[in-house]
Structure 1
C-alpha cells in the first residue's frame, strides 16, 4: 500500500452508532475527529449498520463452530477441568459451536458476504473508518455478571474486522475520567501503510505555517511543502501591519515585512498550511537567505509561524503591497 492519497477521506459513524459509549467518550471521540479535520483530512459521516450487524455474527452466528473445530475435542476430553483450569464462559461458547449445522454455516457465510459488500460500498472513496477502539471499561464484576454481553459490547467496532478480513490500527487518544481512551482506524486488508500514515497524523505534533509567495498552491516551490507532509488548511490574510516587496530572486519571491501601525501596513493575502513537526524541521533547514521564518499575525489576531524577509533585502525592492498579495501581483503584471 502506498500510504495516503493526495486528498484523504476518513469515514466516521453517524451519531446513533456512537450510542452506549462510556460517559465522556463520545465527546473525546469528536475531539479526535476534529483533530483529523484540522489536519486537512475530509471527514464523511457514514452509516456503518452493515458492519455492526456483521460484528454480531461473531457470537450469534455459526462461526463459533471454527472454535469448536480447533479446540472442541480437547474441551470434551477435559470437562472435569471446566471451572478450574478451563474458563467456564469460554468453554461454554466453544462447546456450543458443536450444534451448528452445515446449513447454518452456509447461511451465515452468505449473509456475511452480503454485509461485507454493503460495508465496502458504505466506505467507498474513504481511506479508513475511524471509531472508538471499544465502548467502555468494564469492571471484573461486570464481566463476571455477563461475560458474553460484556465482550460483545467491547467488540462492537472490532468484531466485524475479524470476520471481514480487514486491517485495523488502535491509537491512544488520551484519558477520560482517569482511564485510557483510544480510537481505531479500520481499512481494507493490506491497507496497513495507509492506516499508519493516518495514525501518524493523529500522534505527530504539527506547526501551522503562513506562506505568501513561491510556496503558495500552484507556485514553483509548493512541492517542498507537499514533500514535508504539509496539508493546506485555508486561504488567510495578515493583519494590517505588513508590507510586501518583490525580491530579485530565482525563482521570483516576495518579501513580507512587518511595519506596524506607523508604517502604513496593509493586509497581505496568503495561505495557512499545517506541517508535521518532523517535516517542518527539514523544511526550515532549507529556507535560503534572505528569507526567514518568524511569527506572523493574521487578520483574526492569531499568531503563527510564517515567511518573513530580512529588512535589508527590501532596501531596493519594489513595494507591491497595493496588490494585496503575490498571486494578484503576478497576475496583474501578466506573469
Structure 2
C-alpha cells in the first residue's frame, strides 16, 4: 500500500518492487474520488484517459524507471495549457481548448510524467489566497476553515493531499510559495526566465514564473531540471549562467526591528525564530539586514504600474466580459486604468533605485531567509476583507520576481493551532541549484513531514547533496570545538564550521586519563540507547586534513561517525581499550557541558 505522499523516491522504489503505472493510475483515481475537497480540480483527466496514458507509457518505455519521471502523476494549474483539457484561468467564459501542450508540460510528459488534471486557482492568477474562483475555494489540508493560499491553490492541495506527486503552479507575486507554506510543502520558484512560459496564460508577462509544488526539495529540483532550458519562443526566456554560493558558513539575512511584521500572529513569528535557530545549528551565520528596499519594491507590484500588465494580459476579454470576472479580481485589474506610460517609466526608475539599495544589503549576505507568509486567515475572514488581508500574504514575497531572484520555500513547522508555516530562501539570479542543499537541510532539520503526513520521514534518496567544493568534512567532539584550546588547529588553516549537531544515540563519551588539555574518548556501542552527543562538523582543505590526521595521538583516530540525521561523516573515535577505568560523561550530552561542569 502506498503512503499518503507520492514523493519521487517512494514511487521509484515501488516501481522497482513491482508496482506498475496501471496500478498507480487506479490508486490516483480512487484517491480523487475519496477527496474531501471538491474545489481542488477544475477539470480532471478522465479515468479512461489516465489509463490510456499509462498504457502509452508502458508501450514507449516498458522498463520501470527508464525515464526520469516514469509513471509520476502530476497536476497542472489551469492557466497552463495541456492538450486535450480546457484552459479556463478560473473564468468559464474565457475557456479555450489548447491544440498542444505548454512547453513545460510537453517536457514533463516526455520524461514519463502523467497529467491527472487541471487545478483551481485565483482567477487569472490574481491573488495569494485561493478564494477568488467560481469553482470554489480549495482549503488548507490541515483545517478546512482556512485558506489554502493562492493563486496556485488547487495545485498545492493536490500534492499535500496525496493526489499527485507534484504540481505546477505559477508565481508572479508569491503564488508558488504561499500555498506551499499553508500546506506543509516545498515550493520551487525558479529564476525568471529559467523555465519557459510558452503556453501559459500571463498575469504579468515580464515577471511570471512557472513553479513546482513538491514533497521535498530534491523532488522539486529534479522536476525543475526537466522543465528548464532556453526557449526562443518565450520573449523573456534566458540562458542560465549558474551562480554558486558558499558550501558552508552561509551568511543568512533575517528580519529585525520594525520590519518584523506578522500582523499579530505570534505563532508564525515564533516559528520564524525557531527557523533562525535551526539555521544557526546548521552552521549559518545570521545577519540582520534592512528589509525596507525589498518591501518597497514588493509594494510596487500591486500598488504601482505593474498592475497594468495584468490588464494587458486580458485587455480584449475584459472589454467584452467584465461581468464574468470575480469582483475582487475585476477591481484589481481595472485599477490599472489609473496608470499611464509615464507612470510605467517612473515605476521602473523607482525599482532601479530600490534595486541599488538592495544590492548594498547583499554585500553582507549570501541568501535571505524570510517568513513565506507572516500570517494566515480563515476563508470567512478573507472574504470579508479580500484585498487588505491578501496583501498581508505578499509582504515577504512580492519583490522576488521584480528583482529577478531564485527562491525555494520550505516547511517551517506547526503552531499550537495545528497550522503550518514556512520560510523562503532567496538567492541571486540563477542560484537555483546552489540554494537547494541548505533549503533541503532546513526541511529535514524541521522534521515536519511532507504535506498532510506530518510524521513522514523525508527519504534519504531525495537528499540534495552539497556541491563539491574540494574540501574535506571532519567531525570534532572535544578540544577542537569552537572556543576550545585546540580549535586553532582548524581555524588556522582556514577551516570553516559547517554545523553544530548531535551524534546518533548509540555513542558514549569518556574523559581520557592523563591528557593535557583534557581529551574525550568517543566510542560507539551498538544497542546503547542514549540521546546523542553534541559535536561540530567542519570543512578543511585536503592538505590541512592530512596534516591534522597525521598529528592525532593514540588512542584517538579518525573513523566514520553516524549523526542524528542518519548521515555519516569522518570524525574522532577512540580505541575501546583506552576507556577502561575512564570517567564517563555521556549523560552530560557533550564535551562542552563536561568542561562547564568542572568550573
Query: TM-score, normalised on structure 1?
Result: 0.68
- Listed one character per residue, the Cα deviations across residues 83-108 of structure 1 (whole Å, up to 9, x for unaligned) are xxxx1211221122133101110111
Mapped to 2, the partners of 1:244 and 1:73 lie a distance apart of 86
For this pair of structures, how many residues does the alignment match? 268
Structure 2 residue 456 is matched with structure 1 residue 168 = no
How much has 1:197 moved relative to structure 2?
Answer: 2.2
What residue number does 1:4 align with? Answer: 246
Q: Quote the offset at 1:73 in angstroms.
A: 1.6
Q: Distance in 1 between matches of 2:304 and 2:409?
A: 26
How far off its partner does 1:304 sit?
4.1
CA distance in 2, matches of 1:23, 1:204: 24
Secondary structure at the aligned position of 2:430 is classed as coil
The root-mean-square deviation of aligned C-alpha atoms, in Å, is 3.9
CA 1:26–1:104: 2 relative to 1, 3 Å: same
Alpha-carbon shift at residue 168 of structure 1 (Å): 1.3
Is contact 2:475–2:569 with CA below 8 Å preserved after alignment? no
2:589 to 293, 303, 307: 303
Partner of 2:570: 283
Q: What CA deviation, in whole Å up to 9, does each residue of 1:170-225 have, x standing for no partner?
A: 11011012101111111211122332122133133599851568xx76769x99x9
2:353 equivalent in structure 1? 114
Does residue 178 (structure 1) correspond to residue 418 (structure 2)? The answer is yes
**How much does 1:126 deviate?**
1.0
Residue in structure 1 matching 2:266, options 5, 12, 23: 23
Q: Does 1:187 align with 2:427?
A: yes
Larger radius of gyration: 1
C-alpha displacement of 1:23: 2.6
Please identify, of 96-105 and 155-164, the stretch whose mean Cα deviation from structure 2 is larger: 96-105
Among 43, 54, 59, the alignment partner of 2:302 is: 59
Say yes or no: does 1:251 pair with 2:550: yes
Tell whether the 8 Å contact from 1:132 to 1:157 is kept in structure 2 after alignment: yes
Unaligned runs of 5+ in 2: 1-242, 447-473, 481-485, 502-508, 517-548, 593-599
- Partner in structure 2 of residue 325 of structure 1: none
Question: Is the alpha carbon distance of 1:304 and 1:255 closer, same or farther for their aligned partners in structure 2, counting shifts above 3 Å?
Answer: farther
Cα 1:122/1:288, change in 2 over 3 Å? closer
Cα displacement string for residues 244-300 of structure 1 (whole angstroms, at most 9, x for unaligned residues): 679xxx82422458xxxxxxxxxxxxxxx996845x42537xx899589x99738xx
The 1-side partners of 2:489 and 2:550 are apart by: 10
- Between the aligned partners of 1:54 and 1:75, the Cα distance in structure 2 is 28
Instruction: Describe the superposition over 1:293-335 as per-residue Cα deviations: whole angstroms up to 9, x where unpaired.
Output: x99738xx732499xxxxxxxxxxxxxxxxxxxxxxxxxxxxx
- CA pair 74-276 structure 1, distance change in 2 beyond 3 A: farther
User: Separation in 2 of the partners of 1:274 and 1:30?
Assistant: 28
Structure with more contact order per residue of length (Cα contacts < 8 Å, sep ≥ 6): 1
Structure 1 distance, partners of 2:324, 2:285, is 53
**1:117–1:274 Cα change, 3 Å:** farther
- Matched residues in 2 for 1:187 and 1:209: separation? 31
Q: 1:145 to 1:305 in 2, by over 3 A?
A: same
Residue 314 of structure 1 corresponds to: none
Change (3 A) 1:276 1:64: farther
Q: Contact between 2:248 and 2:284, CA under 8 Å: does it hold in 1?
A: no
Q: Is the 8 A contact 2:245 2:434 kept in 1?
A: yes
Q: Return the alpha-carbon distance in structure 2 between the equivalents of residues 183 and 253 of structure 1.
A: 41
CA distance in 2, matches of 1:167, 1:100: 29
Task: Give the TM-score, by structure 2 length.
Answer: 0.40
Q: Which residue in the other structure is 1:199 paired with? A: 439
- Whether the 8 Å CA contact 2:305–2:347 is kept in 1: the answer is yes
Q: Decide whether the 8 Å contact of 1:22 with 1:136 is kept in 2.
A: yes
Higher deviation after alignment, 193-202 or 152-161: 193-202
Contact 2:555/2:574 (<8 A) preserved: no
By percentage of residues, which structure has more helix? 1
Contact 2:252 2:369 in 1 (8 A): yes
Do the aligned partners of 2:406 and 2:429 also contact (CA within 8 Å) in 1? yes
- Provide structure 1 residue ranges, at least 5 long, that are not aligned to the other structure: 234-238, 258-272, 307-335
The CA distance in 1 between the partners of 2:514 and 2:554, in whole Å, is 6
